[in-house]
Amino acid sequence: MNNRISIENTPEFILPKKNEVLRINENIISQIDLLEELIDRNGDVKVLTKEDSEIDGQDFYHDFVYFVLTKTSKTLRASILLAENIFPEDSQILLRSVYENYLTLSHLSKNMGDLDFFMGKTVGLAAGLLTHPLSKNNKIQRNKILNPETGEISEFGISISKMAGNLSSQEEKEIHKELYPYLCELTHLNMISSGNYRNKDCTEYTYDSYDSYHNPYIFLPYVLIIFCDFLTCEIGMNDEKMSKKIYKQNKVTKLEYIKFVSDFDFYKAETKLTELIVNRLKEKKIRKKVSA
């Protein structure tokens, strides 16, 4: 393997739309910086630092949300680092995790009762306090959970398709049908994605290729934008200062990204996905004010 190539040190004649990609990259990093500032200002752990009598339901929700935001921020940093160094497939493998985080918070905002699955049931299972029951045929029922102390059996698991079905935007639901399978194809050993690892003539496998260097910049900004729309416009944020800053940066990123993706002829010719994305991002979003 030669010295690692990167977008920054590769000539523009090799990388189409390099300068536009670098501007998108800067916008992404600026938004990640703001998310991390939000976490620094508000990401105190509540449940583990309070007496049991002081804990309420909002403390569990707060801790879970900031766990998700912190995990999302770190994964975005890793994803963009891989994209900058032209590991596009690996960047998008991580992007799937970020997208699933968005689906989770979006679903939870409309189904608060499911917080028990993400915190109580999954933690209880990992700690050995809960277990999967056995069927009459002595097979493990992984879609159910058993409390050995009480004998109570309840449903276990929330599918990605169920969470996507709860998205507020019809465009996002349509985008999900193409975007999520695409990200899964890259994540798993699916031969449909093997072309990313061959040369143009399909005569040999290669680990250094510029062909799809731009792919993360088609999908990563979209996921980050809808995530920030959700935080600032759908559920709202108690931190008014950070809400305004994230909302403002998101508008800048949207304008730059819409122009970039609208002019990218390859994707316009190959799929309607970018058209759906542009339509979704052109929706007018109003920042939601939440009382502290």
Per-residue pLDDT of 58-104, as tens digits, reads 999 999 999 999 999 999 999 999 999 999 999 999 999 999 999 99
Domain that holds residue 38: 23-110+166-281
Same-domain pairing of 134 and 187: no
Q: How many CA atoms lie within 13 A of 277 on its CB side?
A: 29
Structure tokens, 286: 């109003």
1 — pLDDT class (breaks 50, 70, 90): very low
200 inside domain = yes
Could you identify the residue written with the tokens 């905002």? 109
The DSSP code sequence of 107-133 is: HHHH-GGGHHIIIIIHHHHHTTSSBPP
> What whole-number distance in Å separates Cα of residue 93 and Cα of residue 102?
15
Same-domain pairing of 151 and 249: no
Same-domain pairing of 48 and 116: no
Render pLDDT for 128-184 as a digit per residue (tens, 0 to 9). Answer: 888 888 888 888 988 888 888 888 888 888 999 999 999 999 999 999 999 999 999
Handedness of CA 243, 244, 248, 251 (dihedral sign): positive
Confirm whether pTM is higher than 0.75: yes
